[in-house]
Amino acid sequence: MTDNSDKPAEDYGTFHMTAILIKRVRQLIDGAPALIETDSSDPVKTAFEEFASGNLSITEDVVTEEK
């Protein structure tokens, strides 16, 4: 498998980004800490805010904090 960690999130297609955001929402539901400060308790809103702020790094199986 290829390592996509250096590929900007904006270069992914809509379907792939949706799958990535769904994985991140599941991580948040399972208790993962938010990567940004937010007042939202909604994991979907939090995941979108993380993406919009550029704090997500995309790998093949997980979404991790941008370094």
Domain with residue 24: its CATH number is 3.90.940.10
3-class secondary structure, 58: strand
Domain count, the chain: 1
Domain annotation covers residue 1: no
Q: Is the pLDDT of residue 7 over 60?
A: no
In-domain check, residue 4: no
Show the domain range for 35: 9-65
3 state DSSP class of 63: strand
pLDDT at 67 over 90: no
Residue 16 lies in a domain: yes
Indicate whether 26 belongs to any domain: yes
Rounded Cα gap, residues 62 and 32, in angstroms = 12
Model pLDDT, residue 2: 46
Rounded to whole angstroms, the Cα distance separating 40 from 49 reads 10
Model confidence pLDDT, tens digit, residues 29-61: 999 999 999 999 999 999 999 988 988 776 655
**pTM, whole model, 2 decimals?**
0.68
Q: Is residue 3 part of a domain?
A: no
Give residue 24's pLDDT. 93
pLDDT band at 16; cut points 50, 70, 90: confident
Residue type, 17: M
